[in-house]
Amino acid sequence: MTQIDLRSDTVTRPSPEMRQKMAEAEVGDDVYGEDPTVNRLQEMAAELLGFEAGLFVPSGSMGNQVAIWSHTESGQEVIVEKQSHVYNYELGTMSAFSGVTPRPIPSEDGTLDVEEIKKEINPDKYYLPETGLITLENTHNNQGGKVYPYEGIREVIDFADERDLPVHLDGARLFNASVASGTKPSKIVEGFSSVMFCLSKGLGAPVGSMLVGSEEFIEKALVGRKRFGGGMRQVGILAAAGIYALENNVERLAEDHENAEKLWKELKELGFELNPDPVETNIFFARTDSIGVNAKDLADFLKDKGIVIGPRNEREIRFVTHLDVTEDDIDQAIAGIKDYLAG
Ligand code: TLP
């Protein structure tokens, strides 16, 4: 039975057309910088976002962590939003591998208030840790795919410029933010010191993320990637999937957003408490205790119908749409949830 998988946009499978491009890819040893397909993808990503250079990395986590390693020195602090992926789901790697401490700032909606950032930067005293980097996340996973407002980004970047601080963007779902807001990706990322975005989420590639920045930054990141065990060889077969994804799967993210909205509206009518309200991109969270439903029981019920959802605990489910979920699949998921509630 084919499954309707609403757990994450990481579950997408490469399409026959993408596989064809992968099979035909020209390859070489990328540790020697000799894989023409990887080189093409790196140039393409850099150009698309308005940066000097790009680097293909195996995962989003590695991209973020290589960026942190490249921007900071051991003993420094990194300002992060408290619900961010770099802080919560990357296993303390910034401390383990880069020797830096995260300085988390809580927020209502995943965006950082510049006044709060100011408070978290230590005065210039030799016995206090120095801030080495600020990271932002757009769209924000733990806030249900919320788009970081453009003005909010500018405020953080202007402040960081004044203090001569680098700012890294975890843009795992940058293209979702771009499509939802109608803002070019290169405009969203203007002024950042580095950006990571994922090819293997909504864009539908099987593996891989990109890091972009200045030439100097990417030279350093190349060392970091090798040190973290991410130097890859004839990896053009994966880069070809990334090129295909960038050429074919960006604009269609709008369909994922429409599907998420359809599901969101139905669940709202059924009485689920939803975050964000309204839904902005391809992710949202549904509180099931608001209607007396156990999220895990609902997940078990739907699984038997070939619908896979991701309860975080007994009270909350994350729903994510992506290119392997059609409008018809959404209708089936809604029907399944209604069946559960009726029974
Ligand atoms: N997110 C995954 C899980 O790790 C939670 C998902 O299913 O959403 N930044 C952001 C904002 C992410 O959401 C993720 C992955 C990453 C970085 C890391 O990417 P990978 O999984 O490629 O290391």
Clarify whether residues 66 and 156 are in a common domain.
Answer: yes
Angle formed by the axes of helices 295-303 and 327-342, nearest 10°: 120
Clarify whether residues 50 and 145 are in a common domain.
Answer: yes
CB of 15 within 8 A of CB of 252?
Answer: no
Clarify whether residues 231 and 302 are in a common domain.
Answer: no
Clarify whether residues 130 and 98 are in a common domain.
Answer: yes
Which of 229, 248, 267 marks a domain boundary? Answer: 248
Rounded to the nearest whole angstrom, what is the distance from the C-alpha of residue 320 to the centroid of ligand 1? Answer: 12
Clarify whether residues 30 and 154 are in a common domain.
Answer: yes
Residue 2 belongs to some domain of the structure: no
- Residue 150's contacts (CB-CB under 8 Å, 6 or more residues apart) are 181, 183, 187, 188
Which secondary structure element, helix H or strand E, spans residue 319, and what is its range? strand 316-320
Q: Which of 158, 74, 88 is nearest to 117 (CA)?
A: 158
Q: What CATH number has the domain bearing residue 70?
A: 3.40.640.10
Count the helices and strands in the chain (H runs, E runs): 14, 13
Residue 9 belongs to some domain of the structure: no
Clarify whether residues 296 and 318 are in a common domain.
Answer: yes
Ligand 1 pocket member 61 (CB < 6 A): yes
Q: What pLDDT shows up at residue 248? A: 98
Site to substitute for ligand 1 among 5, 12, 89, most atoms within 8 A of C-beta: 89
State mean pLDDT over 171-179.
98
Could you write out the DSSP letters of every residue in 217-232?
A: HHHHHHHHHHHTT---
Ligand 1 pocket member 172 (CB < 6 A): yes
State how far the alpha carbon of 332 is from the alpha carbons of 13, 261, 281, 305, 335, in Å: 20, 15, 20, 9, 5
Ligand 1 pocket member 49 (CB < 6 A): no
Rounded to the nearest whole angstrom, what is the distance from the C-alpha of residue 124 to the centroid of ligand 1? Answer: 35
Interatomic CA distance for residues 47 and 64, integer angstroms: 20
Rounded to the nearest whole angstrom, what is the distance from the C-alpha of residue 85 to the centroid of ligand 1? Answer: 7
Residue 3 belongs to some domain of the structure: no
Ligand 1 pocket member 170 (CB < 6 A): yes
Which of 210, 228, 248 marks a domain boundary? Answer: 248
Site to substitute for ligand 1 among 9, 61, 80, most atoms within 8 A of C-beta: 61
Interatomic CA distance for residues 84 and 59, integer angstroms: 16
Ligand 1 pocket member 318 (CB < 6 A): no
Ligand 1 pocket member 9 (CB < 6 A): no
Q: What pLDDT shows up at residue 1? A: 61
What percent of the chain is modeled with pLDDT above 70? 100
Strands (DSSP E) found in 93-245: 101-105, 131-137, 167-170, 194-198, 209-213
Q: Please state whether the predicted TM-score (pTM) of the whole model is above 0.85.
A: yes
For the chain, the domain total comes to 2
Average pLDDT score, the chain:
97
Q: Give the closest residue (by CA) to ligand 1 atom 15.
A: 60
Q: What CATH number has the domain bearing residue 280?
A: 3.90.1150.10
Could you report the per-residue pLDDT of 258-312, keeping only the tens digit for each? 999 999 999 999 999 999 999 999 999 999 998 999 999 999 999 999 999 999 9
Rounded to the nearest whole angstrom, what is the distance from the C-alpha of residue 180 to the centroid of ligand 1? Answer: 19
Q: What pLDDT shows up at residue 2? A: 81
Q: What pLDDT shows up at residue 343? A: 87
Rounded to the nearest whole angstrom, what is the distance from the C-alpha of residue 243 to the centroid of ligand 1? Answer: 20
Q: Give the closest residue (by CA) to ligand 1 atom 20.
A: 60
Residue 1 belongs to some domain of the structure: no
Clarify whether residues 292 and 273 are in a common domain.
Answer: yes
| Domain hosting residue 321, numbered range | 252-342
Residue 314 belongs to some domain of the structure: yes
Region for residue 101 given its phi and psi (left: phi exceeds 0; alpha: psi -120 to 50; beta: otherwise): beta
Q: What pLDDT shows up at residue 293? A: 96
SS3 percent helix, strand, coil of the chain, rounded to 5, is 45, 15, 35
CB of 135 within 8 A of CB of 142?
Answer: no
